[in-house]
Structure 1
Amino acid sequence: MLPDTINPNVSLLDSDHQQINFGRWMHQCELIKSFYNASSVFVLQSIHSGFEIIVSSMSETPLFTSGTLYPSDFPLFKQCVYSKPEGDYQNLARFMLDELPRDFDGIQHILSRPITWPDGSRFGALCVLNPHMTDPLGNAAMLEPFQILLQQDLSLLCQYHRIESLSMRDQETGMLNHYGFVMMAPRQLNLGRRFGAHAGIIFFELQCPKNTEKNLEEKHHRLLGNLIQDTIRTADIAAHYTSTQFVVLVFVDNERDVLHIMKRVEKQLEQQNHALKLDSSYSFFSPESSAKLAPMMEEARCQLISMRPDATEMIAPSSSTIDSSLYDNPAADSAEL
């Protein structure tokens, strides 16, 4: 299973995957092109909008270049991507003229090897156009080391994302991330209850400015994260919960103090950047409450505009319901969490 932070239907070119060395991939394409004396060599990815060329060998003509997109029903590339692991060697003479784009004029054969993600799902294919081979089946085996190399890079990418998800700190803001909040919040809430403190769960989420095409940027979330950390006390816990949402566990004297914190953050944000709009919601714990943390978080989170059933904006995959089992933290030493 792939990490939640990797969407296989999104092109590697559209994602910030710094762990993939596209320069090395291009160099491999050049080596293959030289070995087979081929017209062109490229790595193809199957995405939601079709088949996209990720990297390719250098060419004098602007064909099969990085970023070129072909329709998802293109039979030639479907055969390349979904062929058996040892690859395929296709004669393009079997296609009608109107079945192939003009890009393939002069291309007689295509040698390919499928590339898979670590979980076995299809990533794309490594394609060689017009390879010069005396023995197609025997010479095709020379693609296997390159196929393995590309799949190893994809495996390393997934491992990096898994390790990053286990980190307790968010790289963007320096705050706790979702995992860090899972580990710290139950323990802190248990401690607060022992001392008879009231507690509140607050969710903050930036809203895209109305009447503008500008999107939220990393600096906007960093600004909100800094304001939250400057507002809360040492005993409180704040986290960058999802890409757009922040969560805070605060200890207060009464429910009115929770509202005061929300207003204070909103006011400071308006002073820093009046174009940004803030949505917030909360739930409240009394000292004698036996409510568990996860349901209270879900109650607060569902009040956000983006989480309401009638919200018009698309909700990110990370906006699923909160798994209460994650917050039954044995380290918190409390069955009431």
Structure 2
Amino acid sequence: MDNSISIDRSQWLLDSPNDLISLKKWQNTVNLLAELFNAPAGFLVQYTPGGFQVTISSEQETNPYPSGIVIEPEANIFCRRIVETRTELYVANAPLDPCWDTNPEVHNDGFKSYLGVPVFWPDGQPFGTFCVMDFKETDYKQTYFDLIHQLKDILESDLSLMEMYKQAQKLAVTDPLTGLSNRRGFAILAKQRIHLAQRLKSQLGLFYFDIDLFKGINDDHGHAVGDEVLKEVSSALQVSTRDADVISRMGGDEFVALVSLKQSGDEDNILKRFNQTLTRQIAQSKLPEFTVSSGFANVDLLSSIEDIIDIADKAMFEKKKCNH
């Protein structure tokens, strides 16, 4: 749906979660880090110009930092040192080093030991840090260093997956009027999305939309008005779906939306949001009133794109016959 070239790295991932990554998997990875190190706290921390946010925090009562908290960018914390140097940092006993005298993690919360590694976006820019902290002095062996690097590779692979998906969107052929992908672009993005759904064992559905009596709108009001109608439908679809959903203008007055289904009834909620949004947009515009017919099909992840589109198209056509 989003045709931008890359992910907005100034935004916290927790504020705009991406359907292509599993925060549950990230949580399990951070929990595993803390458990294997027998440490009271482990973290995945994201860095932006706004500071350092704990994206994932290990789930122990001994951990004083919950997910979501933000530390201001100038604070003298361990993660800041890693982002600035782009290298791992191991501090066995921080109170012995005067450079950490103003570190709030040490002097406010009582941490002594820190081991962290940088986490990078695919282009080499820092995402943040993956780290473990302890209230006691530590003496980690090389195996522990190897382990934390191995686990952080899991996190970086998901960041790479997000970037690859954005690149696929960039390369897709788009419809110049609405900015959506066209039929060819949809085929490219849909294959990527279905592949991801197979990998993540998630469920997808496909909507097929058709503007009712669109030829009459063009004949009675002109093609400029018809173009505005197409733009309003495109806008309503974008508002009503998630960032990782794939929507497309297939040609003429027909649109499709390949959507993620997380729970029962999601498809009804998406359609309800679309209809409400479109009704509101029409009321706020000077366009003639119009309606849109829709069909829906659950996606068999082993079926071809063409078969899935055909099923949703037939469902839309049958509903349209009943309504007219």
Name the TM-score, length of structure 2 as normaliser. 0.53
Q: Assess if the C-alpha contact under 8 Å between 1:81 and 1:113 holds in 2.
A: no
SS in 2 for 1:42: strand
Structure with bigger helix share is 2
Structure 1 residues not aligned, in runs of 5+: 184-224, 251-268, 281-337
- Cα distance change, pair 274–155 in 1 and its aligned pair in 2 (3 A): closer
- Cα distance change, pair 14–227 in 1 and its aligned pair in 2 (3 A): farther
Match of 1:121 among 118, 125, 135: 125
Match of 1:65 in 2: 66
Q: Does 1:79 align with 2:104?
A: no
Match of 1:155 in 2: 160
- Cα distance change, pair 112–102 in 1 and its aligned pair in 2 (3 A): closer
Structure 2 residues not aligned, in runs of 5+: 186-209, 240-248, 253-275, 288-324
Using the aligned pairs only, state the percent identity: 20
SS in 2 for 1:273: helix
Name the TM-score, length of structure 1 as normaliser. 0.51
Match of 1:44 in 2: 45
Question: Per-residue deviation at 1:159?
Answer: 1.2
Q: Assess if the C-alpha contact under 8 Å between 1:53 and 1:65 holds in 2.
A: yes
SS in 1 for 2:14: helix
Match of 1:273 in 2: 280
Aligned residues: 214
- Cα distance change, pair 271–20 in 1 and its aligned pair in 2 (3 A): closer
Q: Does 1:30 align with 2:35?
A: no
Q: Assess if the C-alpha contact under 8 Å between 2:76 and 2:102 holds in 1.
A: no
SS in 2 for 1:63: coil
- Cα distance change, pair 271–151 in 1 and its aligned pair in 2 (3 A): closer
Q: Distance in 2 between matches of 1:151 and 1:275?
A: 44
Q: Distance in 2 between matches of 1:270 and 1:60?
A: 44
Q: Assess if the C-alpha contact under 8 Å between 1:29 and 1:56 holds in 2.
A: yes
Q: Distance in 2 between matches of 1:7 and 1:228?
A: 39
Match of 1:92 in 2: 94
Which range is displaced more, 136-145 or 52-61?
Answer: 136-145
Question: Per-residue deviation at 1:153?
Answer: 0.6
Q: Assess if the C-alpha contact under 8 Å between 2:117 and 2:148 holds in 1.
A: yes
Q: Distance in 2 between matches of 1:22 and 1:271?
A: 32
- Cα distance change, pair 88–102 in 1 and its aligned pair in 2 (3 A): closer
- Cα distance change, pair 104–113 in 1 and its aligned pair in 2 (3 A): farther
Q: Distance in 1 between matches of 2:121 and 2:147?
A: 21
Which structure ranks higher in relative contact order (CA pairs < 8 Å, sequence separation ≥ 6)? 2
Deviations 1:6-46 (A, max 9, x none): 10111111114011111111111111111111110010000
- Cα distance change, pair 126–103 in 1 and its aligned pair in 2 (3 A): farther
